[in-house]
Structure 1
Amino acid sequence: MEKVICREKELETIKDRLNNNTTEFIVVYGRRRVGKTWLVRNSIPMLLDKKAYVYLEITGTINDDFRSAPTKESFYNSLNLSWNISFGETLFDPYSDQKNINIENIFFLKLSEKLHSLRKKKVKLIIFFDELPWIAKTSRTFYDGILFFRNNAIRDNPNIKIFVSGSSTSWMLDNIINAKGSAALRATELIKLSPFMLADTKRYLAEKCKMTCDNEIVFDIYLCIGGIPYYLDFISPKKSWVENIYELTSTETGLLNRDTEHDKIFSILFENPQFHKKIVDYIATSRYGKNSWEVSKKIISQDKPNGKLSKALRELVNCDILEKRGQLFNKSKFSKYFIKDSFLNFYYKWLKDKKQINLSALSDTINSPAYSSWRGIMYEFILYSHHIKIMKKLGYDRLSYETYLYHSEKGNNRRQIDLIFLLPRLKMLIICEAKYRDNYELSKLDVEKATEKKLDVKSYIKRHKKSFEIKICYITKNSLQKNAAYQNILPLEVMLDDLF
């Protein structure tokens, strides 16, 4: 058993569900490598006395092509092994002709018997169907058995707690999360696992990887691989962060080597991976994001998105690949999509279609002006997902607020503000400006740009017949220099350290 790190909220939810007096069907879902299996396997022995439960884990597997499921025979043998580990006996004779016996019926019949026996002893039965989409692909009969077992046989049995997980977001959404009617696996709890934010990434590196480093280095690692626990597991404290990223992304055996992990992400998450990949490939071409109409014209050659495209965009947002940001006062109509996944942002900019590079070349790239500029853009990108930390620093975290972007195109003047906070009760808007440079000093030009943005937004909100006080907030690497330009606008301030 490993200690569960940085998932305290999820642990508390699981604890409540394990200890209550009802049947539970708990769904854990999220992006590939985010730690779904790890959470379930390690949380249960942390939360329950080992004498209080019996644990049965059944895992769906995938072939090397990351599209097809293994044979039923392979699944049945795995099922037999899992049963033996949990109950100390075989489910069926492994040397028997599997074609002549109904293994699915045997499993659920024996499971009902075990459940009845354990209930008398006041012992919980905890079943974990790991990668349920692949179980369903391997044996639809077995999946139908789970459906009947959950919705009928155990409906009122408080001694059974069922966990299911799946990386195939499209399947999980269609068959469990959004499914309705008698053919739906009705969940009692949905646990979405998202990548870690900066603070938890730092903590995970320190506690799990034994790598203690300052916030700037954590930020640099985060820009390359994000807060994905499995990726972070490969960070070595014996190497510099640049060496670690090189080993992961640019060597032949690296976990995130070039197209390998990129392709796996889409193949495993989605039933139609090429369609989703085309969408993300297109959105990656613009630092300003793309709205649904632009995506529609490019991907399906239509002026408006159809049902298939709208569904794919929802799925990409749901598994943290994309982020949807609403336009100020027009949250739905003029929303834009951005790539949220840090590894994919790094991949599209620095790995895709690039020649194999050595450590020296990667080091030169990271120290180049182009990388410095990209780092500044990515700093702006991650602010949207760290909005709670920003508002806490500004002292507004206990007030209700909304997050928006603002984009204006007048003639050749294209202006976009990636993050605006709206505080309705205070009648206030906060325009955020990100500057990831050492000891940034505001200039006369900065003052002019800030003034232009305020006037532009003021004109925009006036057209919407609204009135708000507008403030400027600089989110910088470290403290702003208090020069004459600073005194001119007296901005709010947030620093990198405040995001941790």
Structure 2
Amino acid sequence: MELLIGRIAERKILEEVLESPSSELLAIFGRRRVGKTFLIRSFFKKQLIFELSGVHNANATEQLLNFSRSMAEALGSRLAIATPKNWTEAFWQLREFATPVLKKRKAVIFFDEFPWLSSHKSGFLSAFEYFWNQWASQQPNLIVAICGSAATWMIKKVVNSKGGLHNRLTRKIRLLPFTLHETEQYLKKNNIHLDRYQILNIFMAMGGVPHYLKELKKGESAIQAIDRLCFTKDGLLSTEFANLYRSLFEAADRHIAVVKSLADKPSGLTRNEIIAACNLKSGGTTSILLEELVESGFITPYLPLHKNANKSIYKLSDEYSLFYLKFIEHSRSTGAGTWLKKSSTSSWKSWSGYAFEGICMKHVSHIKQALGISGVFTETSAWRHAPKTGNGAQIDLLLDRQDNVISICEMKFSNTEFAIDKAYAAELQYKLDAFRRESKTKKALFLAMVTTYGVKSNMYTVGLVQNEVTMDDLFDL
């Protein structure tokens, strides 16, 4: 358990599962490479008595053969065990094996890549439903953990099941990539000591995905690491994009189309704008598609101020996807030094601003803590004003506070102190004036600058900037 980095909220759920006086059916889902299997194996190391992992595109015969081998391993037998004829027989064997153990202590049965076990006409899911409903759910010492990366299948067949697993889940965990704090901890554990600006650059390119971070090498700078992983022939992230989406979603082309549309529109798109941009049909299938992308952590809906959920603005929130589509997909240059050249262009400068905004949006709790309002009830939202004539305005993050204040957050990425000049000061003032006029709010408006190294004090900051949040605040707990 000491090997686990971060995952505080998830650990709390798992501790509750372990202490529960009743049987527990736990589902963990999320994008691949995010550490679902590692979390279960690490936390339940002492309680895990049986584990079976599904194999992609394997038929029922192959999966059942793997079941018999896993059963032999669980029994500590060197001899092969007869392969069950079907999944009904397999679950009966599992029941016979687990019963004497459960009379003595808590035990965990773990099914990894659960959707892959349910191959076409295998009968796996119906047999599992019977196993849980007729026996496992009656065993107070039993925890059954199921895990899967195939988001479409897990959400439809398990989380929102209308069949035998309807309302049977006792807990669920949507596992997301590491935060900045967890990323820093993970790198230190692997003896990789980078300053926070370097870590932030790495995070903007690949996010907090443990499997990607594991590829970083001691003694490499952020630029060297990105160069090697993204722009060399055998770099892990040079070809990861298509594999990532096709392993997670059925009919992944539609999901990829949505992701690409959002990558082209950093300010975000509404549901109707996504439908128009991707030539989708308005209805349940589009709602499910968007839900799958949200649940997997690729896109995030933001609720505009005083609007209902159907007016949500969707943004691409997966750092790797944003980076891949901007710099890797159509890159003509590869090899050593590629990223050193690309990261000095104006294209990188504009992209880094959007990437930093996305990271800030994932660390709103840290921003609230830095502002000293963690204990104040706050509604987080966005705001967009697009008049038919004249200049519009957009606020990507505003904190509507119960203490009669609205914090307007402006997020700016820079490798030094950020300097507000005359033109930008006028732009900020216009945005504040437009927001007050259009929202008709009577609350005080506090402009909070969220930057890497802080805001340089000058004549334009006085009376304009009320609060500052820095990169360090995003890393701190």
Normalising by the smaller structure, the TM-score range is: over 0.9
**How far, CA to CA, are the matches of 2:63 and 2:209 in structure 1?**
29
- Note the C-alpha offset of 1:331: 4.2
Task: Trace 1:15-26 onto structure 2 (pairs within 5 A).
Answer: 15-26=15-26
**How far, CA to CA, are the matches of 2:317 and 2:241 in structure 1?**
14
Q: Given the alignment of the two structures, is residue 169 of structure 1 paired with residue 151 of structure 2, yes or no?
A: yes
**How far, CA to CA, are the matches of 1:342 and 1:84 in structure 2?**
42
Q: Given the alignment of the two structures, is residue 246 of structure 1 paired with residue 227 of structure 2, yes or no?
A: yes
**How far, CA to CA, are the matches of 1:134 and 1:419 in structure 2?**
40
Structure 1 counterpart of 2:114: 132
Q: Given the alignment of the two structures, is residue 107 of structure 1 paired with residue 66 of structure 2, yes or no?
A: no
Contact 1:175 1:185 in 2 (8 A): no
Runs of 4+ aligned structure 1 residues displaced above 6 Å come to none
* Cα gap change, 1:119 to 1:292, in 2 (>3 Å): closer
- Note the C-alpha offset of 1:490: 4.0
**How far, CA to CA, are the matches of 2:423 and 2:455 in structure 1?**
15
Structure 1 counterpart of 2:275: 296
**How far, CA to CA, are the matches of 2:338 and 2:12 in structure 1?**
46
Contact 2:27 2:147 in 1 (8 A): yes
Task: Trace 1:223-234 onto structure 2 (pairs within 5 A).
Answer: 223-234=204-215
* Cα gap change, 1:91 to 1:146, in 2 (>3 Å): farther
**How far, CA to CA, are the matches of 2:67 and 2:296 in structure 1?**
29
Q: Tell me the SS of whatever aligns to 1:140.
A: coil
**How far, CA to CA, are the matches of 2:451 and 2:48 in structure 1?**
52
- Note the C-alpha offset of 1:287: 1.9
Structure 1 counterpart of 2:360: 383
Contact 1:125 1:161 in 2 (8 A): yes
Structure 1 counterpart of 2:126: 144
Greater shift in the superposed pair: 2-11 or 149-158: 2-11
Q: Tell me the SS of whatever aligns to 1:155.
A: helix
Aligned residue identity for 1:104: W
Contact 1:24 1:160 in 2 (8 A): yes
Task: Trace 1:321-336 onto structure 2 (pairs within 5 A).
Answer: 321-336=298-313
**How far, CA to CA, are the matches of 1:419 and 1:275 in structure 2?**
28
Structure 2 counterpart of 1:362: 339
Structure 2 counterpart of 1:81: 69
**How far, CA to CA, are the matches of 1:117 and 1:199 in structure 2?**
43
**How far, CA to CA, are the matches of 1:477 and 1:54 in structure 2?**
44
Aligned residue identity for 1:289: G
Structure 1 counterpart of 2:325: 348
Q: Tell me the SS of whatever aligns to 1:389.
A: helix
**How far, CA to CA, are the matches of 1:345 and 1:373 in structure 2?**
13
- Note the C-alpha offset of 1:71: 2.4
Contact 1:291 1:337 in 2 (8 A): yes
Which consecutive unaligned segments of at least 5 residues does structure 2 have?
none
- Note the C-alpha offset of 1:54: 5.4
Contact 2:174 2:295 in 1 (8 A): no
Aligned residue identity for 1:471: F
**How far, CA to CA, are the matches of 2:293 and 2:266 in structure 1?**
18
Q: Tell me the SS of whatever aligns to 2:22.
A: coil
Contact 2:268 2:313 in 1 (8 A): yes
Structure 2 counterpart of 1:272: 251
Contact 2:303 2:313 in 1 (8 A): yes
Structure 1 counterpart of 2:467: 492
**Percent identity between the aligned chains?**
26
- Note the C-alpha offset of 1:10: 1.8
Structure 2 counterpart of 1:97: none
Contact 1:447 1:488 in 2 (8 A): no
* Cα gap change, 1:369 to 1:143, in 2 (>3 Å): same
* Cα gap change, 1:56 to 1:2, in 2 (>3 Å): farther
How many residues align structurally? Answer: 472
* Cα gap change, 1:201 to 1:301, in 2 (>3 Å): closer
**Counterpart selection for 1:215 from 187, 192, 196:** 196
**How far, CA to CA, are the matches of 2:125 and 2:406 in structure 1?**
51
Greater shift in the superposed pair: 220-229 or 108-117: 108-117
Aligned residue identity for 2:116: W
Contact 2:227 2:337 in 1 (8 A): no
Aligned residue identity for 1:156: Q
Contact 1:27 1:191 in 2 (8 A): yes
Q: Tell me the SS of whatever aligns to 2:382.
A: strand
**How far, CA to CA, are the matches of 1:441 and 1:54 in structure 2?**
55
Aligned residue identity for 1:193: L
* Cα gap change, 1:115 to 1:388, in 2 (>3 Å): same
Structure 1 counterpart of 2:422: 444
Contact 1:91 1:107 in 2 (8 A): no
Greater shift in the superposed pair: 33-42 or 483-492: 483-492
TM-score (norm 1): 0.90
Contact 1:331 1:404 in 2 (8 A): no
**How far, CA to CA, are the matches of 2:2 and 2:235 in structure 1?**
25
- Note the C-alpha offset of 1:159: 2.1
* Cα gap change, 1:333 to 1:80, in 2 (>3 Å): closer
Structure 2 counterpart of 1:394: 371
Contact 1:461 1:467 in 2 (8 A): no
Q: Tell me the SS of whatever aligns to 1:406.
A: strand
**How far, CA to CA, are the matches of 1:138 and 1:202 in structure 2?**
42
Task: Trace 1:50-69 onto structure 2 (pairs within 5 A).
Answer: 53=47, 55-62=49-56, 69=57
* Alignment RMSD (CA, Å): 1.9
- Note the C-alpha offset of 1:33: 0.7
* Cα gap change, 1:469 to 1:454, in 2 (>3 Å): same
Greater shift in the superposed pair: 313-322 or 10-19: 10-19
TM-score (norm 2): 0.94
Deviations 1:182-204 (A, max 9, x none): 35371111111111111111111
* Cα gap change, 1:293 to 1:54, in 2 (>3 Å): closer
Contact 1:130 1:166 in 2 (8 A): yes
* Cα gap change, 1:87 to 1:356, in 2 (>3 Å): farther
Q: Given the alignment of the two structures, is residue 482 of structure 1 paired with residue 453 of structure 2, yes or no?
A: no
- Note the C-alpha offset of 1:412: 5.0
**How far, CA to CA, are the matches of 1:430 and 1:152 in structure 2?**
53
Q: Given the alignment of the two structures, is residue 206 of structure 1 paired with residue 188 of structure 2, yes or no?
A: yes
